[in-house]
Amino acid sequence: MKDWFEFIKEIEAKKREIKCSTSGCWYRGAANYEHGLVPKLIWKKRKPDTEENLYRGYLRTRMADHSRNSWFTLVDMQHYGTATRLLDWSECFAVALYFAITSKDKTHPVIWLLNPFTLACRARGSNDKSIGDFHIDKEMDYHERFLKKKNWPFKYAMPFYAPTPNERIHAQRGFFTVHGNDERSIHETAEKHIRSVSIPDTIHAEALQFLRLAGIDHDFLFPDHEGWLKKIEEDYFYH
C-alpha cells in the first residue's frame, strides 16, 4: 500500500527518468488515467469544420477581444472551457495535485509528468529544445496555420509558452501543449518524454493536508470573480 512519502519518491524517480529531476518538469493532474493526454477538441466527436466554427463563434461573443492575436484568443477559449487543441500544464506540482484529487469525477487520478524540452526536440525532429512562443511569431499564427492554410508544421504535440492574458494562467503557473497533426495521446506518441504516477485513495487525506499547508485552493488558483464565488459556494455547501 503506497503512502504519501512513497508517492513523492515515485514522483522524483519519474522526473529522473525523463531527465528533469532538478528543474523544468511540467505537471498535469487528471481525474482519470484512461483519458490519456488528448485535448477536448480531439477526443470529442466533431464535424470537419468544428475547430474553425468554434473559433469564429467565440469571436462573436462579448468575451472576445478582437485586438489580440489568434493565440491569445485560443487561450481565452481554453480558459472558458471551449474545446481546443490545447492541454493545460503547470510547472507547479501542487497545482496538478489539486486538479487531480478535487475533481468530482475522479476514478483513477493521476499526475502526468513531462519534459517539455525533449518533447520540443521530438516535435521538431531536431536538437532544438526551445519552447514555442508562437504568439510572438507572425509566421506561426494559429488562425493562419490551423484554420486558413492548414499547414501546421508539427506532427506531434509541441510545448507552448502561453501568453498570460488572464489571472488564472498566472496563478496556476500555466503552460500548454499544442496538439499537432497526430491525434493520438501524447503518452503514445512521445513515451520517452512522459511519465505518470497514480494517486491511490490511501494518500488522499495526506494530499489534501499538503494542499492546505501549501495554500493551494480554488480561491488561489482562480483569482477572479468566478473563482471567488465558487470558493464561497464550496465553503457553505460542501464542507
Tens digit of pLDDT for each residue in 63-89?
777 777 899 999 989 988 899 999 999
Most confident of 19-23, 105-109, 193-197, 235-239: 193-197
What is the distance between the alpha carbons of residues 49 and 31, in angstroms, rounded to a whole number?
Answer: 29
Does residue 233 register a pLDDT over 90? no
C-alpha cell at 70: 489568434
What is residue 239's predicted lDDT score, i.e. its pLDDT? 45
Helix (H) or strand (E) holding 194: strand 194-198
Segment among 46-55, 58-67, 185-194 with least mean pLDDT:
58-67
- 164 three-state secondary structure: coil
Q: Report how far apart, in Å, the C-alpha atoms of 208 and of each of 107, 130, 139, 162, 214 are.
A: 17, 35, 44, 28, 10
Gap between the Cα atoms of 91 and 72, Å rounded: 20
